[in-house]
Amino acid sequence: MVKMTYVEASRLAVQEAMTADETVWCVGEDLGRGSVFGQYLGLQAEFGKDRVVDTPISEAAIMGAAFGAAMVGTRPIVEMRFSDFALCATDELVNQIAKARFMFGGQSRAPMVIRKPIGLWRSSAAQHSQSLESWYVHIPGLVVLCPSTPQDNYSMMKAAIACDDPVVYLEHKNIWGLEGEVDTSLEVEIGAASRRREGDDVTIVSWSNTANLSVEAAETLAGQGISAEVIDLRALWPWDKQMVLDSVRKTGRLVVAHEAVAVGGFGAEVVATVAEHGEALKGPVRRLGAPRSLVAYAPNLEDKMRVTVDMIVTAAKETLGK
């Protein structure tokens, strides 16, 4: 076990993958200086400019070039800097990369990791603060991952690089400095959720940084005599329906919390799946997400978009009629 930050964990995973497999390489803007958040610090010096490639400012060109390289046998890690910027390359991702294996009858594939940092981050305003995970879950052919801890950002990055399908890899910008213990021998299966806390009274389902807030909320609830189970989905596609259903069957209550806009968010998919399986609920379902509004630059207005620990605690108590 080694203590490291969220960003250090992903960087180590990339470094080890590049060392083990010469077909793994990185491409994006300013990677030579480490990129925006330091995800690639030192990698260009170690592996050279042919494997850690700096590009012009053209997301479509970056994504398209990486796709072509993936089609002929390499495993590119594509850095989009912000999930918002990646929208400039949506056609390449949605109409080409996601459909390649299907449209070529399995004769070709696109083993790519497309890194799209998401989430609210220190007054970054409307064009740099979005969480768009539900968009990519909607697209057949894409794997969608949302690591919330340093351990997951290490193990899930390793799994993403090894995956033979394109992986949309969504790291939260506000937790690059989050520290935690990392076991470099621990492997994870894509699609397996993590039970972050055991509980009997209410199930809280979340992912990304909101999963960390959910753990804090569960600790607060424990101090009030309420036992909350926290499930961190980690992967939104494929996602661990069985763990969620088993937990709700045990607790009879459900809270789903995420930072993305609640309208059309993946939380609705979780709630609908529970309903479709006919799970008997003892109280009302609570679904927490951002209002359908643009993110303001001003901190006081930005805070109106946040799902907080207190909100999760209140929602959990409401399912219990408290």
What secondary structure does DSSP assign to 62-110, as a single string?
A: HHHHHHHHHHTT-EEEEE-SSTTGGGGGHHIIIIIITTHHHHTTTS---
Buried b (16+ CB within 10 A) or exposed e, 58-87: ebeebbbbbbebbbeebbbbbbbbbbbbbb
Task: Report how far residue 231's alpha carbon sits from residue 219's, in angstroms, rounded to the nearest whole number.
Answer: 14
128 has catalytic annotation = yes
SS3 of the chain: helix, strand, coil, percent, to 5: 40, 20, 40
Q: Taking the CB of residue 275, how many other CB atoms lie within 10 A of it? A: 12
- Which residue shows structure tokens 């939260």? 172
Task: Report how far residue 2's alpha carbon sits from residue 87's, in angstroms, rounded to the nearest whole number.
Answer: 36
Cα separation values, 56 from 30, 31, 32, 263, Å: 9, 11, 13, 35
Q: Give the active site residue among 128, 138, 172, 258.
A: 128
Residue 18: its H or E element: helix 6-20
Helix (H, G, I), strand (E, B) or coil at 215: helix
Residues labelled as active-site residues:
128
